[in-house]
Amino acid sequence: MAPGNLTGVTEFILMGVSHHPELQIPLFSVFLVIYGLTVAGNLGIITLTSADSQLQTPMYFFLRHLAIINLGNSTVIAPKMLVNFWVLKKTISYYGCATQLGGFIAFIVAEIFMLAAMAYDRYVAICNPLLYTVVVSRHICLLLVSLTYLYGLSTALTVSSCVFSMSYCSSNVINHFYCDSVPLLALSCTDTYIPETVAFAFSGTNLFFSMIVVLISYFNIVLAILRIRSSQGRQKAFSTCASHMMAVTVFYGTLLFMYLQPRTNHSLNTDKMASVFYTLVIPMLNPLIYSLRNRDVKGAIHEMFREIRHKPYTGTIRLRSMS
């Protein structure tokens, strides 16, 4: 992946979130809490949706993999970021930087299409409930998840290979808290037209097609809900997709804010703030969104704690057996 690295660059320096020394410890504490909540929340979702018999449906199957993606996305970024708050030389090796960029791209692309798959799942559940088990079968779920991971991986390999085919001869200081394509290409002393075009084409195409799936799905969901005569029925139908709608709004809103802002207002500092949100904050928020607004998940959590209280000396937590 490094044929263009003709100048002997073996490491990069990450500038981090802030240049002010007095903010390093407070920022470390904040991001440590965020990452801790992210790990705990997403591992909790993964455990509950794997072990609880009432959460063995396509919706929770997709939710489990969204939690895996969120956990992976944060873990690619946060540990190195937290270490750099304490060290004077905030370096990352050349191949470590390439790995971090590839991991970030793979997980962020997978999240985009996992949210689209979840929107399609909610569309079928509300608009075609009688065909739900046929249209969204276990085979289809496995296929969608597999394609999501494979496409994320192929996108990561393509874009990161293009970025790291460039020569870096002016500076190795990255104005970011992780290795991202835009600040990396800003360091290159060769023509970056091809990698910039590839990165823009992939990001634009992925965002466009996933948003089309989400918008069409929710357009039909809204129409189907409006056709329900009883207010109780409408409320029940809306509650099945409210958590996903909130997660989609937060995630796509952040991406659109970053990619659709005018060039005159665009800066790497703005990218940093947006990146903090979709690499660290959103993966922390998603488990809260799905647990606080979802009756089944809340029920599974309550049962888990009830069994903890009733079996304090066994040392094990026994959830409902899968059937």
Within a domain: 22: yes
Within a domain: 33: yes
**Nearest CA among 154, 58, 62, 49 for reference residue 111:** 62
Distances (CA, A) of 253 to 71, 92, 245, 269: 20, 31, 12, 18
Sign of the alpha-carbon dihedral angle for 275, 283, 105, 103: positive
* Residue 191's CATH number: 1.20.1070.10
pLDDT over threshold 80, residue 7:
no
Within a domain: 148: yes
Within a domain: 1: no
Structure token digits, residue 288: 């809260």
Within a domain: 323: no
Within a domain: 315: no
Within a domain: 295: yes
**pTM for the structure as a whole:** 0.87
Within a domain: 35: yes
Q: What is the pLDDT of residues 285-306, one digit of tens each?
A: 998 888 766 666 666 666 666 6
State the total domains in the chain: 1
**How far apart are alpha carbons 121 and 123 in whole angstroms?**
5
Q: What is the pLDDT of residues 197-239, one digit of tens each?
A: 998 899 889 999 999 999 999 999 999 888 888 888 788 778 7
Q: What is the pLDDT of residues 134-155, one digit of tens each?
A: 999 999 999 999 999 999 999 9
Q: Which domain holds residue 160?
A: 11-310
Q: Determine the average pLDDT of the residues in 109-125.
A: 94
pLDDT over threshold 60, residue 42:
yes
Farthest-apart Cα atoms in the chain, separation = 69
